[in-house]
Structure 1
Amino acid sequence: MKRLSEITPGITVIIREVENDELFLKLMEMGFIPGEMITVDQIAPLGDPISVSVAGYSLSLRLNEAKSVLVEELMIKTA
């Protein structure tokens, strides 16, 4: 598993866990549910914040928030 803060733009991952309980409640209200797919859309020039797509909408996260989200990269099988 990786942290959401380590994912490059254009990559889709699956949310596995949010380590910070307070942050988990805040993010859960916005669609960050374990098992949900999320795509990193953009990273600001200085690395903070990052823009992601989850549950059909875009959201900006601070880098320290993204570090608390553990994700798993999708394994895309090619022929």
Structure 2
Amino acid sequence: MVTLYQLEGCPYCELIADRLDELEIEYESVWVEGLHSKRDEVKRISGQRQVPVVVDDEYGVTMAESERILDYVDSTYA
């Protein structure tokens, strides 16, 4: 299962969600707080508080930064 941690209105998060949709990858969205200081779950999972963050349980991958995530999704699922 792929989990996408994202923020409402975040263009980088939308890029990832759109690409997952294009590739018909089933994923769960976890909507995070707007304030960085409230993103404890993201910090616990990825070691930082920025979004987007993708967790791919099937491959044991957790990553941040939209460009890296897009590269990963394309090389793994496209």
TM-score (norm 2): 0.27
Higher helix share: 2
Larger relative contact order (CA 8 Å, sep ≥ 6): 1
